[in-house]
Amino acid sequence: MNMQAVEAAKGRKLVTGVIGADTHIVGNRILSMALEEAGFEIITLGAITPAEDFIKAAIETAADGIMVSSLYGQGELDCRGFRDMCIEAGLEDILIYVGGNLVVGKQDWADVERRFLEMGFDRAFPPGTRGDDVIEKLNADFTARTQGKRIAE
């Protein structure tokens, strides 16, 4: 990890949790620990978290990003309108990420990712994404923000 990337993470606050009625928390906890080790400040909401709670926590903590996970396949339903809720709450510039087993059944990941990007998420991570890969993308995105871009290309 280069020094510029570490500096991008240093002090950045991320709200993490599992959205909707999903109780699958283990992967979220592992990712949160890896993010903390990389220099991010993590606000963990846990499992079975309503969308509104992510937004409230982001406002209360002045978070730089929100990371939503879902593993029970209902992510598309649980995340619908999430970007609009952020905008309504005054968080139009916050980076929002989603990851996990977001849909039921075997679906082409490119299609799933496209749907979540169209919903306003800045990135969607497929099931099995390694923590290092997430950290690399986050660091690149925060570096891009310092350069006036929304996210890294």
In the residue annotation, 22 being an active-site residue is answered as yes
φ, ψ of residue 144 in degrees (nearest 5): -60, -40
Which CATH number is 3-146's, of 3.90.550.10, 3.40.50.300, 1.10.340.70, 3.40.50.280?
Answer: 3.40.50.280
Known catalytic membership, residue 133: no
Q: Which of 22, 64, 78, 141 is catalytic?
A: 22
* Rounded mean pLDDT for each run of 10 residues along the chain, 153 residues in total: 57 94 90 92 96 98 97 94 98 96 93 97 95 93 89 86
User: What pTM value is reported for the model?
Assistant: 0.92
